[in-house]
Chain A
C-alpha cells in the first residue's frame, strides 16, 4: 500500500489517492523493477461474455472477481485459480506476470487516464 503511494507521488501529474482503497496483492514498486523477475501471478482478461452459458460458468467468473468483458484481474498462482481459469478457458485470455506488474483496479484506472496538462508541439510566436 504505502510502497505504491510513494511511487505515485514521485510521478508528476498524477493525483494521489487517500489510502482508503484496498490492495488485492502486494506490490513492490518501490524497488526498481527487476528484469527477469519470476512470474507469480495470472493476469486474466475476460474476452468472451458468459451470457447464457449457465450459472456454473458465470459463478466461476464471479469468483475470479470478473464482472464485465475486457476486465482484467490478477491472481497469484495457485491450483484453485488455475482450475477456475481452465473452467472458463474459452472466455479468458491469460498471461503470467511477475509481482511488480500486478495492478489493482485503481491502478489500472490511473494507468488508463491521460496525463494532465499539455505538451507544446509548435508555437506561432517567433522564438526569442
Chain B
C-alpha cells in the first residue's frame, strides 16, 4: 500500500491529467468578476473622453453581460472535438483578452 512502488494512478496509467475538463462554478464566478473589472477599465478610458484607435477596438469587444456562457468559459480550438475547449486550458488565460471567436465559429 505504501512505498516507492505502490500502485498509484500515475504509476499504473502513466499520465494523469490534472486539469479538469470544465471550470467549477467558483472559477466561473471568478472569471466573470475579472471580465467585469476589464469592462470597468474600458469604461473608465471611454469616460475620459480620449479618442484613439485602441479604444475603438476595445469598445468592439463584447461586454461581460453581452457574452454567452459558451464564450466566457470555452474557447475555439482547431484540434478539439466540436472546435471548443475549456478556456482554462489556455496558458495565462486570466490575464489575456479571449472574448471573441474566429469568423464562422
Bound complex: CA A48 to CA B49 (Å): 26
Q: Which of A1-9, A19-27, A63-71, A77-85 touches B?
A: A77-85
A residues 21-66 near B (Cβ < 8 Å) are 39, 42, 47-48, 50, 52-53
Do A82 and B41 have beta carbons less than 8 Å apart?
no
Please tell me which one of the listed residues A50, A52, A85 contacts residue B45 in the complex, with CB atoms under 8 A apart: A85
How would you classify the secondary structure of chain A's contact residues: helix, strand, loop or mixed?
A: mixed
Do B41 and A83 have beta carbons less than 8 Å apart?
no
Q: How many A-B residue pairs have CB under 8 A?
A: 65
Tell yes or no: A104 within 8 A of B by CB. no
Please tell me which one of the listed residues A47, A52, A79 contacts residue B50 in the complex, with CB atoms under 8 A apart: A79
Bound complex: CA A91 to CA B54 (Å): 16
Number of interface residues of A (CB under 8 A): 24
- In angstroms, how far is the closest chain A Cβ from the Cβ of B60? 12
Q: Which residue of A lies closest to B95 (CB)?
A: A90
Q: A residues near B, CB below 8 A?
A: 39, 42, 47-48, 50, 52-53, 77-79, 81-83, 85-87, 89-96
